[in-house]
Chain A
Amino acid sequence: MFAYYLDLALRSLKRSPGLTALMVLAIGFGVAASMTSWSVFRAVSGDPIPWKSASLFVPQIDNWGPNGRNPDGDPPNAMDYADATALMRDHRAKLQSAMYQISPSVVPADAAKHPINVSGEAVYSEFFPMLDVPFQYGSGWSASDDENRAQVVVISDKLNQKLFGGANSVGRNASIEGRQYRVVGVLKDWNPQPRFYDVVNSGGFDSGVKDVFLPFLTAIQANLQNDGNTNCNAVPKEPGFVGLQHSECVWIAYMAELDSASAVTAYRDYLQGYARAQQQAGRFGWAPNNRLRDLRAWLDNQHVVPSDTKVSLLVALGLLLVCLVNTIGLLLAKFLRRSSEIGVRRALGAPRKAIYLQFLTEAGMVGAAGGVLGLLLTCAGVASVGWVMPKDIADLARLDVSLLVLTLLVAVVATMLAGLYPTYRASRVQPAWQLKSN
């Protein structure tokens, strides 16, 4: 019987190819437009480390007081040197790292080559296990290397290619800002976007790759200046990089891993106690005003997602709605027109159920065809994102399969519902009436 209904539906759709094409196109475009912008949206708001983002936390300490807070009462979004190193010393989280951005020049061993300017990060040893950083060769350095200000470095796959031709360079020396550092690890291709561990400096997105990772205290000792943002509420009393370290200027990012709710509470209490101690010591003239956000809340708080993509998503959703409403209207028109046909079938003895089945088949076919077209257009759309969007965003634009399935389902169900109502109306009418009125 179903095959017969399929055949009937095909015949009926063929009778008005224009209208059918219109309905299918409307659904297809609606699905494709909303899915394409959704994938772009996800690309920029996507969780960069989904398996761990709930246990990564960013603490903020109010070292500026009421005048330095933003309108929401939030303290500065980075730390000064004193607080960052104190938190590292206390070491209260399972894993933690302070970090700041550096931009040293690297001199290749081959003297004929020009020195290259690279972007990097000064971090603590726990940075690597905390963020599950993948290594190609070797590993990160040890906690004692942190303490001893060891001359070690972790380099990117790209820099390893440039300096050592891609060979296993662990144990070899790299010349960075005029000093020799021993390579302890080479990363695999690792460039998470958004650059979640250092949102304040990258604005979340940065097409460049971090090429060198040096121990934090080593970098401080080597006088490697901060290459990221520095925010001050007062001019540092002493000049230079040392002056910056002694000032209340904020320029250091901080992240901690806390695995359980009790650990989070304990850490919150610890921060409270730290700020209170600073208040008692006379450094802070105000009550503790700390923040401890998990990674997702932090990214949201720092407006890492460009508002554009959200708005374009809304616009695309609007388009999907318009297309669906449009299809419903057209199906309604098409089906209501066929009350006489229903009358004939009913008069010949078809039960209501059979009528419903026939029309749902037809509506379902329109919905499915629209869905398939939508699927194809979405694939084309997502593939062409790289062609129109900036590379850093386009690289991340991937199709969300579960959402796509949901949209297709919505499209098909909406068309079937649209088919149901006129069928209901037509099948209510007495067959005799329908036949007579013709």
Chain B
Amino acid sequence: MQIKPILAALRRHRLATLLIAVEIALACAVLCNACFLVARRWTMIQINSGVDESSLAVLTVNGFDPKLSADVNARMLTGLRAIPGVQSATLISEVPFGPQTGAAGVTHEPGDFKNLIGVVDFVLAGPGTFKALGLKLVEGRLPQPDDYRPATSFLPDYAQVLVTRQWAEHAWPGENPLGKSFWCDKMHFRVMGVVDHYARAQPGQYDLGQGEWTVFTPVVPGGSLSGTYLLRARPQDVQRVLQAARAAVQKIAPDVVLDQDNSKTLNDLRANYFKSDRIMIGLLLGVVVLMLGVTALGIVGLTSFWVAQRRKQIGIRRAIGATRGDILRYFQTENFLIVTFGIALGMLLAFGLNAVLMRFYELPHLPLPYLPVGALALWGLGQLAVLGPALRAAAVPPVVATRSV
């Protein structure tokens, strides 16, 4: 295929060529950035919470005197365990996708405020909670009865804790985390086990690689560990059990107030938590599809026009020996050249746009693989759009050349 005559022809249609190229460039820039945003969001909503979400529900009550917390806990747990279908009712301070109760910066040294390793969620949990959650232990050991320590302030002064693999790899890269210590001001924590996955309460508020910076802290019930109860039931029973539990609160403990918003199944909590992310993904994908459609139609329109304009020239080329394939390939090559020019322009634009987004919206760098993928998509789109008009061009009979009008 000779490219020179195509370039010569394009030079005569500078404005139209430029318009298609600009359209492709804009589409390329928006496509790359939108897909990047969608991919990030998608990774976020796919987060592995590490717990048996479909078997779990959480029930929160408040409005009682903190001094009575031990008594309220005892009454609530007994009452909840009596509900038919409840496999276990245990104490926990926060669950994935529920409200966050305790996040704190931790360090390698006591009383240090400068060299933070990071901000982790401390999940306080009473006896039986680890098993109820369904967490998967990959290293170390489970909490034994004497590992449950009283929490003096929010946290105990010293505790053996379980951490997630993600946190262990961040805090002690390449080292065996078992037995390692970390500190929150003067409070000392020692790692006794590592769990595979365990999402913190509000993973969306942290960077993608920090959604599982969770510390499972065994604590004696009472004080800050009261009022939030984890219910476990068979997946098909969870909804019913939760309804029964919500209704039973009034009878079990008439002096407490049921927190309607924070008494839900974990499935509901998760769906609710990621609702806006799903909307955003839908919105972005919708805009991308609309934009690609408009771009394709634009190419169809302009190429159709060119084909109509060049009917006579096509006829002449056919008459002096060009095959249908030659004509078809001519238009395809022409489109390829224009789209390539547009993509080159679009890459620059995509990076420019990303740089702006990065500066103002705290987004990471656009990973390079998005660019060739975006380019491939647009090349494909261009070829697909040009196929119809090009086939029509190829169908022009040689006899057109001999007609005067």
Contact = CB atoms under 8 A, between A and B. Distances in A.
A233 B259 contact: no
B153 interface: yes
Interface string A97-117: 000000101000000001111
A243 to B, nearest CB: 10
A396 B301 CA distance: 40
A322 B361 contact: no
Contacts of B357: 311, 314
Interface in B110-128: 113-114
Interface string A336-359: 110000000000000000000000
Nearest to B184: A235
Contact of A239 (B33, B153, B298, B309): B153
Interface in A242-293: none
B223 to A, nearest CB: 11
B239 interface: no
Interface string B153-168: 1000000000000000
A26 interface: yes
A116 B257 contact: yes
Contacts of A67: 113-114
Contact of A307 (B287, B295, B363): B363
Interface stretch (A143-151, A324-332, A364-372): A324-332
Contacts of A239: 153
Interface in B282-333: 282-284, 287-288, 290-291, 294-295, 297-298, 301-302, 304-306, 308-309
B405 to A, nearest CB: 7
B294 A26 contact: yes
Contacts of A334: 305
Secondary structure at chain A's binding surface: helix, strand, loop or mixed?
helix
A165 interface: no
A323 interface: yes
Contact of A310 (B63, B302, B361): B361
B301 A329 contact: yes
Interface stretch (B21-29, B141-149, B207-215, B373-381): B21-29
Given A105-B257, A116-B257, A235-B153, A315 B33 contact: yes
B276 A117 contact: no
Given A325-B26, A333-B305, A22 B297 contact: yes
A176 to B, nearest CB: 12
Interface in A65-116: 67-68, 103, 105, 114-116
A80 to B, nearest CB: 16
A55 interface: no
Contact of B30 (A308, A319, A438): A319
Secondary structure at chain B's binding surface: helix, strand, loop or mixed?
helix
B62 A322 contact: no
B234 interface: no
A105 B254 CA distance: 14
A328 B34 CA distance: 24
A316 interface: yes
Interface string B241-283: 0000000001000000101000000000000000110011011
Interface string A22-34: 1000100110010
Contact of B301 (A19, A311, A421): A19
B276 A308 contact: yes
A332 B19 contact: yes
Contacts of A389: 276, 279
B278 to A, nearest CB: 9
A326 B300 CA distance: 11
A105 B304 CA distance: 72
Nearest to A330: B301
A234 interface: yes
B109 to A, nearest CB: 14
B348 interface: no
Interface centre among A235, A316, A325 (most CB of B within 10 A): A325
A234 B187 CA distance: 11
B30 A311 contact: no
Nearest to A236: B153
A22 B299 CA distance: 12
Given A319-B291, A325-B23, A329-B23, A388 B30 contact: no
B175 interface: no
B276 A326 contact: no
Contact of B291 (A22, A116, A318): A318
Contacts of B306: 333
A166 B37 CA distance: 48
A322 B294 contact: yes
B279 A330 contact: no
Given A26-B294, A234-B185, A329-B302, A117 B259 contact: yes
Given A26-B297, A310-B361, A332 B16 contact: yes
B301 A333 contact: yes
B186 A235 contact: yes
A103 B37 CA distance: 37
Contacts of B3: none
Nearest to B185: A235
A110 B350 CA distance: 64
A173 interface: no
Contact of A330 (B34, B280, B302, B308): B302
Contacts of A307: 361-363
Interface centre among B62, B298, B353 (most CB of A within 10 A): B298
Contacts of A103: 62
A337 B309 CA distance: 7
Contacts of B405: 438
Interface centre among A22, A316, A319 (most CB of B within 10 A): A319
Contacts of A333: 16, 301-302, 304-306
B15 interface: yes
B194 interface: no
Contact of B290 (A29, A115, A330, A332): A29
Given A315-B34, A322-B30, A421-B15, A105 B63 contact: yes
Interface in A29-80: 29-30, 33, 37, 67-68
Interface of B: 15-16, 19-20, 22-23, 26-27, 29-30, 33-34, 37, 62-63, 113-114, 153, 185-186, 250, 257, 259, 275-276, 279-280, 282-284, 287-288, 290-291, 294-295, 297-298, 301-302, 304-306, 308-309, 353, 357, 360-363, 405
15 contacts: A22-B301, A37-B283, A105-B63, A115-B63, A117-B259, A235-B185, A307-B361, A307-B363, A312-B283, A314-B33, A318-B26, A323-B294, A325-B26, A326-B295, A337-B305
Given A311-B357, A329-B298, A334-B305, 20 more contacts: A26-B294, A29-B290, A114-B257, A235-B185, A311-B363, A312-B287, A314-B353, A315-B284, A319-B287, A319-B294, A322-B26, A322-B30, A322-B291, A322-B294, A325-B22, A326-B294, A336-B305, A336-B309, A337-B309, A388-B279
